[in-house]
Structure 1
Amino acid sequence: MDRNTFTESLTKEGFPDTLLVTREANGEVDVHTHPFESKALILEGEMSIRVGEEERAYRAGDVFHLPANEPHSERYGPNGVTFLVGRKV
């Protein structure tokens, strides 16, 4: 998906704000939650998200969606990752 199409879909789905996030190469974040629903488009690099026993890799052009308060962990690829994320409470 391209950035413009993604931004338009966020607006239609009621995500009021977007944020550009960059994470460093080979970083990790242990299991945590967010008090908001998030939907993100990977712009550069790659990351993996683990929810329960399932881990999924995301690369440029991929979209991920996490409900509010969903326990998950994150791992960032060898070149880090940059993604555009919409958040809504």
Structure 2
Amino acid sequence: MEQQAFLDTLKAEGYAEPVRVHREPNGSLADHAHPFEAKALILAGEIRIHAGGEIKIYRAGDVFHLRRAEPHRESYGPEGVDYLSGRR
């Protein structure tokens, strides 16, 4: 997805202004959940989301969505990851 289309989608769906997130190469976050719903556009690098017994890999141009309070863990590729995250 192109960045402007993503921003337009966030606005239409009632998300707050997105924040840019950077995670370091080969890093990870242990099991956790957020008190908000998140939709994110990968700008560069790679993130693996472990949720619901599945592992999904997202790369530049991909969008991932996490429900409010959805338990998950994250791991990042050898270049880390940069993404825009809209929250509501």
Q: Could you state the TM-score of these two structures normalised by the residue count of structure 1? A: 0.97
Number of aligned residue pairs: 88
How far residue 34 of structure 1 moved from its aligned partner, in angstroms, is 0.2
How far residue 27 of structure 1 moved from its aligned partner, in angstroms, is 0.2
Q: Any runs of at least 4 consecutive aligned residues in structure 1 with deviations exceeding 2 A, and if so which?
A: none
Counterpart of 1:9 in structure 2 is: 9
Structure 2: any 5+ residue segments left out of the alignment?
A: none
Counterpart of 2:39 in structure 1 is: 39
Identical positions, percent: 52
Letter of the aligned partner of 1:23 in structure 2? R
Structure 1: any 5+ residue segments left out of the alignment?
A: none
How far residue 81 of structure 1 moved from its aligned partner, in angstroms, is 0.2
- What is the CA–CA distance in structure 1 between the aligned matches of 2:61 and 2:44, rounded to whole Å? 8
Q: Could you state the TM-score of these two structures normalised by the residue count of structure 2? A: 0.98
Counterpart of 1:77 in structure 2 is: 77
How far residue 17 of structure 1 moved from its aligned partner, in angstroms, is 2.1
How far residue 69 of structure 1 moved from its aligned partner, in angstroms, is 0.1
Q: SS of the counterpart of 1:29?
A: strand
